[in-house]
Amino acid sequence: MQGSAAIACPADGCPDVDSGKAFIDNYLQITNNGLQGHDRTREALRHGMTKSYFEQRKSLINKAIRQGLGVNASPYEIIRTGSPGHYRFGLFQLKAAQIVFA
């Protein structure tokens, strides 16, 4: 979500259709519509993004960032801000101009 504001994790039992659509749009942009498996992603998000899907992807992304960058990973991790019930997630240590797809 290049240059986007922070996002909220969907509530338990309330899949977020807009977040699911945004995820698919960004996924296809990143993969240049070319990677296999996007049908599986579309199927998983057909009713919207669930809390479980959000948390699993956030965890996998942060794990890959830590494995790839080691001690330099912190600025690139998806982090939480806010108070309970109002948490938002994003790349708060980077400016929007620093986030690009190459």
Q: What is the mean pLDDT of residues 15-26?
A: 90
Query: Tokens representing 35?
Result: 């990677």
Residue 1 is predicted with a pLDDT of 41
Domain ranges of the chain: 17-98
Residue pLDDT, tens place only, 54-89: 999 999 999 999 999 999 999 999 999 998 888 999
Amino acid (one-letter) located at 57:
R
pTM reported for the whole predicted model: 0.80
Kindly list the distances between the CA atom of residue 33 and the CA atoms of 6, 57, 95, 102, in Å, as whole numbers in the listed order. Answer: 25, 19, 27, 15
pLDDT score of 102 more than 70: no
Using CA atoms of 42, 85, 7, 57 in order, give the dihedral in degrees to the nearest 10: -50
User: Which has more confidence, 22 or 34?
Assistant: 22
Using CA atoms of 95, 61, 28, 7 in order, give the dihedral in degrees to the nearest 10: -50
DSSP lists the bridge partners of residue 81 as: 88
